[in-house]
Amino acid sequence: MTSIFIPQNSLFYLRLFLGISVGMGLILYSPPVGVDLDLVNLPAFSSWEHPLGCDRLGRDVYSLYSYGVLSTVLIAIPARIATLCFSLFVALIGFISGKFVSYFLNQLSYVFLSIPSLLTALLVVAGMGANFLSLPIAIILSDWALGYESMIARLREIQNSGYVCASLAMGGSRLHVFGRHILPGLVSMVWYLFITGVPTVIMALAIFSFLGVDWSGDIFGPGLGEQIAFSGDYFDRNPGAVLVPILGIILLVIGLGKK
């Protein structure tokens, strides 16, 4: 998991800068899905209309940055929420179904933990293709086991508490006990896993995009990783086309992660 310490005030201003810079780009520019050969490799600060220049297809770099950040957030946040919901659901199934099912789920999680998460995600994307659904599914299958193991460790602590044992002894169903006693105790854990896991998802999406796996090309233009890969060979002509998406990834990882 990615965890970067930044003073609270600095983190606030960084998030403010990220929000304003992306918001202005979304307002001022259309999605960079077209090609303008008259603007190929336009240098930065040479035009008011294109302050950060254009890449080797004539697409505005500022527009690429703004819509690249937007497409990343639209996948990263829902994918992380869905991953934690899936992990929580698996933990619930194991708790209410008895020792045999719980043992099977634990062994299944060990299998997923033993496989590199990026490999799992790439296999899913290769099988389903790159679209709005396949990327979240790839993230879920590659990351659910880590969240599940963290939740199970906390669940076992709560399960041995006096009020849980008393509730079960008095005839409470395991579903009732999970909803009334265990779930509230998992809230802080789930929130922590969400905050610390979002940067990991952002980096995974950047890697997918760098490898050419991107869902938003026809809607919002290329992702941040694809922008880096596309303009890397032309760094000497327009370094901004490479440095700006790198900056976007860094701002997302720090701004949306735990301080």
Alpha-carbon span 166 to 158, nearest angstrom: 12
Q: What is the DSSP string of 144-185?
A: HHHHHHHHHHHHHHHHTSHHHHHHHHTT--HHHHIIIIIHHH
pLDDT in tens, 46-61: 888 889 988 888 899 9
Q: Which of the two residues, 67 and 128, has the higher pLDDT score?
A: 67
pLDDT computed for residue 2 by the predictor: 47
Q: Tell me what the mean pLDDT of segment 19-32 comes to.
A: 92
pLDDT computed for residue 258 by the predictor: 63
Confidence of residue 87 (pLDDT cuts 50, 70, 90): very high
Alpha-carbon span 18 to 28, nearest angstrom: 16
pLDDT computed for residue 98 by the predictor: 76
As a whole number, the mean pLDDT across the chain is: 85
pLDDT in tens, 214-243: 777 778 888 899 899 888 888 888 888 899
Report the range of poorest mean pLDDT among 9-13, 81-85, 130-134: 130-134
Domains assigned to the chain: 8-255 (1.10.3720.10)
Q: Is the pLDDT of residue 6 over 70?
A: no
Q: Is the pLDDT of residue 250 over 50?
A: yes
pLDDT in tens, 89-120: 999 898 888 788 888 998 999 988 888 877 88
pLDDT in tens, 107-154: 999 988 888 877 887 788 778 776 677 788 888 888 899 999 989 888
Share of the chain above pLDDT 70, in %: 93
